[in-house]
Structure 1
Amino acid sequence: MRRYLSGGVNRLALLALTLATGGILHVRTAEAADAVTYEITADEMCCAGCAKKVAAQLYTAPGVSNVNANVAGRTVTITAKPSQKLTVEKLWSAVEKGKGKPSKLISSEATYTLTPLDPATQQASPGVYTVVVVDLKVSGVADKVGRELQTIRGVKTVVLHLDQDALVVEAHPGVHLSPFALASAVERSGQQPSAIVGSYGQLTIEPSTAKVSARQVMKGSVR
């Protein structure tokens, strides 16, 4: 049996014990000084059993060392060692697999918020995604972002809609594109995504104050 904590205490066993006594989990192990934290809102994490399932999935993500679950607040705080293999998409997916139904993720880089589409005012066709990008009208930006989006496996076409500050991505039939994969492609092009819209809803991406400041400094240095 795999052991997680000193003294032979299994992390999931400690999770169950702590939740049973108070509803808030505080699991602590030796952490590196450069550890990173994330907070995820899990709308359907309503009991100790739900929290245990969510935590079990989160511990499978690369570098995750601690999971603090607040059942009353329906949030989980994750501590992890920085790694290129650890992405917000993997953490989000872990909460989904744990049946926690994530709706918000806060990292040091950005806040990701998923809201369902309003059937009365918003519609999205299966396999079609709208990628809203900051500064898309700046010369050359749309081409750079479009080329990067086209490299995603399963993408069929990318069409520019400057009036919406967006590119519309169509996937091949039967292909589901992750909103996080689309956002990552925009970031690889050096730009900032602000929203990804698909049949799942709208994922809004709000960069942290530090990231916005750094971006402004970079733009100033280019001038």
Structure 2
Amino acid sequence: MRSRILSLTATTLTLVLLSTSAFGQQPASPPPAGQVQITAKDMCCKGCAQKVAGQLYTIKGVKSVGVDLPTRTVTVSLGQQDPATLGALWHAAQRANGGPTQIATETASYTLVLPKTSEEAEQIRKLGTTQQVVVGKLDSQQTAQQIASRLYELKGVAKVRVDLQHSALVLETKPNTPVSAWLVIDAVAKAGHQVSAVSGNFGTLSIEYAGDPAHEYNQASQPRNGAVQR
């Protein structure tokens, strides 16, 4: 089995910690079940909103799309909310040049953090095609082996190394076969674990889960959403 080539020797890992910054920060409140809120920082006008909505409607399972331009928030109604599906929404917003920076569901918030200094940008550049994945409760080689087996199923993953000291895995990916961070998060979820952050040449995708002390929402009212027709 391919997972046998997993190196379980603790490696020296420098995690990429970027300055906390994302357009909109935390959503006003977590969306209700069956809805996903996307912060799209580059969605500045009705034309942009129509373009973003059009791309989102191409994703299987999307029932409706609502937009609040003042907060640059898009609310999507759909049933399935696994990380792979959320990733499809994210990439759809990217294709529409919406500049997604955050996706929030009833249970989790995913925030993209980009480098703010030249030093942070250099750290990101040095990663190349490598991704660093922080996993909650990565406390044994057996657990690491189970997660690695799932990761090796992803097309483009060449090697998985583990740093138990930092509760992290390091993915070496093939240069000509990009691996979406969302598929990495989905693979770890299928192994029964949660990713706290994924760092790569795209920045750092940080995840906070409902019920965690760090996952706090204020009680402000939710944005007013205007439906965007297909």
- TM tier relative to shorter chain: 0.7 to 0.9
Kept in 1, the 8 Å contact 2:157–2:174? The answer is yes
C-alpha offsets along residues 101-138 of structure 1, whole Å, 9 cap, x if unaligned? 10000012311100113441433422100011001124
| TM superposition shift of 1:203 | 0.3
> Counterpart of 2:131?
129
C-alpha offsets along residues 137-190 of structure 1, whole Å, 9 cap, x if unaligned? 245211111111111111110011122211100112322110000111111111
In the aligned structure 2, how far is the partner of 1:167 from the partner of 1:202? 14
> Counterpart of 2:53?
55
Match of 1:99 among 94, 97, 100: 97
How large is the Cα RMSD of the aligned pairs? Answer: 2.3
In the aligned structure 2, how far is the partner of 1:63 from the partner of 1:145? 28
> Counterpart of 1:193?
195
Kept in 2, the 8 Å contact 1:61–1:86? The answer is no
| TM superposition shift of 1:66 | 1.4
Greater gyration radius = 1
Q: 1:72 is matched by which residue type in structure 2? A: P
Q: 2:152 is matched by which residue type in structure 1? A: Q
Q: 1:120 is matched by which residue type in structure 2? A: E
Determine helix, strand or coil for the equivalent of 1:147.
Answer: helix
Q: 2:102 is matched by which residue type in structure 1? A: K
Match of 2:208 among 181, 185, 206: 206
Kept in 1, the 8 Å contact 2:83–2:186? The answer is no
Determine helix, strand or coil for the equivalent of 1:132.
Answer: strand
In the aligned structure 1, how far is the partner of 2:47 from the partner of 2:75? 17
Structure 2 residue 99 is matched with structure 1 residue 79: no
Structure 2 residue 66 is matched with structure 1 residue 68: yes
Q: % of aligned pairs identical? A: 35
Determine helix, strand or coil for the equivalent of 1:72.
Answer: helix
Kept in 2, the 8 Å contact 1:137–1:165? The answer is yes
Kept in 2, the 8 Å contact 1:183–1:193? The answer is yes
Determine helix, strand or coil for the equivalent of 1:148.
Answer: helix
Kept in 1, the 8 Å contact 2:83–2:182? The answer is no
In the aligned structure 2, how far is the partner of 1:135 from the partner of 1:208? 17
In the aligned structure 1, how far is the partner of 2:167 from the partner of 2:82? 30
Of residues 117-126 and 73-82 in structure 1, the stretch that sits farther from structure 2 once superposed is 117-126
| TM superposition shift of 1:84 | 7.5
In the comparison of the two structures, how many residue pairs are matched? Answer: 178
Kept in 2, the 8 Å contact 1:35–1:82? The answer is no
In the aligned structure 1, how far is the partner of 2:150 from the partner of 2:60? 26
C-alpha offsets along residues 64-114 of structure 1, whole Å, 9 cap, x if unaligned? 121111111011011124488981011111111111010000012311100
In the aligned structure 1, how far is the partner of 2:147 from the partner of 2:79? 30
* TM-score, normalised by the number of residues in structure 2: 0.71
Kept in 2, the 8 Å contact 1:63–1:83? The answer is no
Match of 2:36 among 35, 38, 42: 38
Q: 2:44 is matched by which residue type in structure 1? A: C
Of residues 192-201 and 112-121 in structure 1, the stretch that sits farther from structure 2 once superposed is 112-121
In the aligned structure 1, how far is the partner of 2:184 from the partner of 2:80? 22
Structure with more contact order per residue of length (Cα contacts < 8 Å, sep ≥ 6): 2
- The 3 A distance-change label for structure 1 pair 128 and 77 is same
- The 3 A distance-change label for structure 1 pair 164 and 100 is same
Kept in 1, the 8 Å contact 2:140–2:164? The answer is no
In the aligned structure 2, how far is the partner of 1:141 from the partner of 1:35? 30
Gap runs ≥5 in structure 1: 1-33, 211-223
